[in-house]
Amino acid sequence: MEMVCIVCPNGCRLDVERADGQIKVSGNKCKRGEIFAVTELTNPMRSVTSSVATTVAGYPVVSVKTDGEIPKGKIFDLINLLAQITLTQSVPSGTVVARDVFGTGVNVITTTDMEVTNE
């Protein structure tokens, strides 16, 4: 089967073959392409970027990201989890707003420095 690697902007077209429980990958320009193809077939993972609400003046929302990858099937669960969060004070970029989501060991951290006035 054909697959497009999403690890970097190169977007290598991968040829993936499954035979006797083995996964054979070709078309990748680097090692990461092979790792991507195997996880994509077994347990696809994604980084997620989104935002959470705040009550801080000038910041109706603040941007956040996962500090690692979570299973692709958990993306909307994560979005629902983030919808429950409201920050009540300004925090610097990199502050954890949700720890170890779904037992993955991945945290959600802020990516905007709210200590800068925004009004």
Partner 1 sequence: MSKHYQIVVVGGGPAGLAAAIKASQSAGVSVLLIEREARLGGILKQCIHDGFGVVRFGEKLSGPEYAERFIKQLAQTGVTVSLFSYVTRMRRGDKGFDITYVCKDGVQNVTCDKIILATGCRERTRNAIFINGDRCAGVYTAGAAQNLVNILGVMPGKRVVILGSGDIGLIMARRLTLEGAKVIGVYEAKPTPSGLTRNIHQCLHDFDIPLHLSSTVTRVFGTNRLESVEISKVDDKMRPIEGTQTTVECDCLVLAVGLIPENELARELGVPLDNRTKGAIVDQNCQTLADGVYACGNALHVNDLVDYVSESGETAGGAAVAESKRKLVPVTLQGKLLYAVPQRLDVNSDLSKVIMYFRASDELSQQRLTVSVGGKTAFTKVYNKLLPPEMERITLDLTGVDLTDGEVTVKLEDK
Closest CB to partner 1 among residues 48, 97: 48
Q: 83-117 burial, b if ≥16 CB within 10 A, otherwise e?
A: eeeebeebbeeebebbeebeeeebbbbbebebeee
Question: In angstroms, what is the minimal distance from the CB of 118 to partner 1?
Answer: 5
Closest CB to partner 1 among residues 93, 104: 93
Distance between CA atoms of residues 48 and 18, nearest Å = 29
The answer to whether the beta carbons of residues 48 and 78 sit under 8 Å apart is yes
Question: In angstroms, what is the minimal distance from the CB of 7 to partner 1?
Answer: 8
Closest CB to partner 1 among residues 39, 63: 63
Question: In angstroms, what is the minimal distance from the CB of 100 to partner 1?
Answer: 20
Residues that bind partner 1 (CB under 8 A): 4-9, 11, 13, 46-51, 53, 58, 60-61, 63-65, 72, 75-76, 79, 93, 111-113, 116-119
Give the pairing of strands 61-66 and 49-54. Answer: antiparallel
